[in-house]
Structure 1
Amino acid sequence: MDGQRPIDIDGGILEGGGQSLRVSTALSCIAGKSIRVFNIRAGRTTPGLRPQHLSGLTAVRDLCGGSLLGGEVGSLEITFQPGPLKGCQLIADTHTAGSVCLLLQVTLPCALFSASPSCLILRGGTNADMAPQLDYMLQVFKPIAEKFGVKFDCNVKRRGYYPKGGGEVVVKVSPIGTIKPIMLTERGDVTKIFGRAFVAGSLPFKVAQVMAGAATQRLRAEFPGVPLEVKPIQEPRGAAFGNGNGLIVVAETSTGCLLAGSALGKRGMPADKVGLQASEMLIHNLHHGGCVDDYLQDQLIVFMALAHGVSRVLSGPITLHTQTAIHFAEQLTQVKFSVTKAEGHLDSQEKFIIECKGAGITNQQI
């Protein structure tokens, strides 16, 4: 514990949801600064901690042996005092369809600055609404995170879907000395598009085929001549819990950028509409001309703030999630981000350079 008065974090400003809690808790843990978060999820119809947020908080607490006051479902305020990050094996279970990917967002940065390797057993929804799908984290986030020097292995034990969850992934993280800065400022040309259309449980394989076919048709019309493959997948019975369907399509560019679009099926939604939704999201992300898509944009902020050196990322329009991540990263690390209109781009789409000279946090325990 740092012994200082906790830093006050207003969880109701900007995005006003769980992201404020994830960013501030992770950076509190790494920087060794106590925080008091109030107005938790004040911008939501059901304010306060939900089970998935509490799972993330207790996981971070266990990684550092810290203390957590107010850690109850429905709580509007918590106080968190971090201890030294030691690394361990832990289980973070939402007991709902809450996203395992959001659990990874809050625990991964902390595990990187631990004294020893960590094994994170994350349980909940692997392909959940209002969060990146697990396939996105593996196919887009992970390779870009590796540019920061971040390494982790992810073993998918079982997939889980709304409303029951039941998924499990095991993430093994090795500690890191410092985080490297990144330069993602040249988008390059799209060299290939690949994807995965899945069904699980009692849903027929035909649904996956229709999703894949609709996505393929739309993307082929938009990007003629670009190699394109969207595979329909039937999840094995023992590898998934419950019924679910969805799709992710990823574009890779000549400079190593990865941008994606995704969608999940819902009751009553035609399979071809799921394929079209994912395709339109990818098209949007490619047409703005940035090096990162809307989902990845905010996930890079914590790593840019911690890095040793200057990072620059070319993005499309700045999302509210990114603005929120920048606000709390600046508050907890004292770094400064700049967001400026990218010069030399003559098309109608707005592009921006997100730049930060990181705090250069060093893991003193390894």
Structure 2
Amino acid sequence: MRATRAFASTARRAWNSRRIPSPQVHERGAMAEARGNLLEIDGSFGEGGGQILRTALTLAVALGRPFRMRRIRAGRPTPGLRPQHLLAVRAAAALCNATVEGDRIGSQDLLFAPQCRPTGGDYTFDVGATEAGGSAGAVSLVFQTLFLPLSLVGAPSRLTLVGGTHVPWSPPFHYLAHVYLPAVARLGFAADLALERWGWYPKGGGIVHAHIRPRQHVALDTPSGEGAEPTLDWTRRGRIAHIWGISAASNLPAHIIQRQKAQALETLRKAGLRAEIDEVEAPAVGFGTVVFLVAEYERGLGGFTAYGALRKPAERVAEEAARELVRSHETKAAVDEHLADQLLLPAVLTGAAVAFTTPRATDHLRTNAWTIEQFLGTRVDIEPHPTGALVRVRGAGVA
């Protein structure tokens, strides 16, 4: 039986260390060599939020490359590490026994130095434990930080994540399960997710279980033409296959769920789109409401989310999600603008050539591309396109 690795005990020595120790004598090759090559990163570059940190953590763990990041979230109203960022740092450290400096709330300067290759196993991480009074920090962002490195260890792993499962400014659980994971499965990455309890802002308390399987090499799409290299080509999405979604709420009157569903269906109908939407009464410790919609195409995918708020009518929540779907659909792009930046890391870790279209090149997309280039020297090409933007990635073949 695998021992559960709660972060408070697993990596205490690494987190409390205030210096980078000398490489262990028994460690050889690329891992030991990489630790001596400290990468300096400006955390305020581009979008300047948590994305640049999470991407750096994923690549540091996967590659064994140490980095120092300064000016973390420097331009934000609350600069520095917030609970979900701090948990991502500490969780990533637990995977590779990293030496860490600056891992505290509000810190804008972080040193992260892996000491070994990532280790699979059973892990439990609670965002609320990083701050007095708890937190609804997004567990989805922590999952995405850990998922790819754990997929590369050659053995299955299990994660239990506690915190916010459906909170603003992050992909909700359902986006991970029904958009992100189906997309990266085309590149051989796979996990099973289970939602035990929903977690809304500000109370959090949601619980997600993940079973991460080792990455499998897959037969990718092959473009026409003699000698063409294998590629995943999502540049022409084809016909729409299915639109579906959920209207969900916790500890609120049932009519809110019903009104959200009715308005979402009506907004989509006016745009000439048919959908199936399920009503969900979500178990949670707090209050919350959401409309989440998925558009599935022959060669593409998109997810669209809107949350309720105090004095925000149910109809407005539904219209926000439905109109976002309609706007994306009308561009004819293959993937939504959020999936675009989330595809870069899994693409670059494989040896495949990947191309896709998206409604626009967001700051998140460009910042993610820049961070990847700092670690691997791999260029992500982002070009104007009739749909919005065309993105091309040539994988580095790390996985």
Q: Secondary structure at the match of 1:300?
A: helix
Would you say the 8 A contact 2:188–2:216 is kept in 1?
no
Specify the code of the residue in structure 2 equivalent to 1:10: D
Match in the other structure for 1:207? 256
| 1:325 lines up with 2:325 in the alignment | no
Structure 1 pair 113–94 and aligned structure 2 pair: CA distance change class (3 A): same
Match in the other structure for 1:7: 39
Deviation string 1:294-341 (CA, Å, 9 cap, x unpaired) is 111110011121111211111221011000100001111111111123
Matched, 1:245 2:289: yes
Aligned counterpart, 2:246: 196
> Equivalent residue for 2:6?
none
Within 2, Cα distance between the matches of 1:256 and 1:227?
19
Aligned equivalents of 1:177, 1:232: Cα separation in 2? 35
For structure 2, list consecutive stretches of 5 or more residues without a partner in the other structure.
1-31, 129-134, 221-230
Is the CA contact 1:88–1:117 (under 8 Å) kept in the aligned structure 2? yes
What runs of 5+ residues in structure 1 fail to find an aligned partner?
none
Q: Take 2:352 and 2:242, find their aligned partners in 1: how far apart are those partners? A: 32
Question: What amino acid is the match of 1:228?
Answer: A
Q: What's the CA shift for 1:71?
A: 0.8
TM-score (norm 2): 0.84
Query: How many pairs are equivalent?
Result: 349
Matching residue of 1:335: 378
Structure 1 runs (4+) greater than 3 angstroms displaced: 177-181
Q: Is 1:50 aligned with 2:82?
A: yes
Partner Cα separation in structure 2 for residue 324 and residue 41 of structure 1: 13
Which residue number in structure 1 is paired with residue 146 of structure 2?
A: 107
1:73 CA displacement: 1.0
1:178 is displaced (CA, Å) by 5.6
Counterpart of 1:290 in structure 2: which amino acid?
A
In structure 2, what is the equivalent of residue 138 of structure 1? 177
**In 1, Cα distance between equivalents of 2:267 and 2:277:** 12
Contact 2:68-2:111 at 8 Å conserved across structures: yes
Per the normalisation by structure 1, the TM-score is: 0.92
- Overall identity of the aligned pairs, in %: 30
SS at match of 1:58: helix
**Could you tell me whether the CA contact under 8 Å between 1:99 and 1:131 is conserved in 2?**
yes
Query: After superposition, what is the alpha-carbon deviation per residue over 1:213-261, rounded to whole angstroms, capped at 9, x for unaligned?
Result: 11000101102xx4421122212xxx322111111111112x1422122
| 8 A contact 1:205–1:233 mirrored in 2 | no
2:281 maps to what in 1?
234
SS in 1 for 2:186: helix
Matches of 1:114 and 1:249, distance apart in 2: 33
CA RMSD of superposed structures (Å)? 1.5
Whether contact under 8 Å (2:244, 2:295) holds in the other structure is yes
Mapped partners of 2:100, 2:158: distance in 1: 21
State the partner residue of 1:37: 69
- Cα displacement string for residues 12-57 of structure 1 (whole angstroms, at most 9, x for unaligned residues): 1111110010001101111111000110111211111111111111
Higher mean C-alpha deviation, range 33-42 or range 112-121? 112-121
In structure 2, the partner of 1:356 is 393
- Distance in 1, matches of 2:328 and 2:295, equals 10
Return the letter of the residue paired with 1:183: D
Residue 97 (structure 2) pairs with residue 65 (structure 1): yes
Choose the corresponding residue for 2:271, options 205, 214, 222.
222
Is the Cα–Cα contact under 8 Å of residues 193 and 249 in structure 1 kept in the other structure?
Answer: yes
Give the structure, 1 or 2, with the largest relative contact order (CA under 8 Å, sep 6 or more): 1
Amino acid at match of 2:290: G
Q: Is the 8 A contact 1:112 1:176 kept in 2?
A: yes
Cα distance in structure 1, aligned partners of 2:241 and 2:122 = 40
CA distance in 2 between partners of 1:177 and 1:9 (Å)? 32
Question: How far, CA to CA, are the matches of 1:59 and 1:114 in structure 2?
Answer: 16
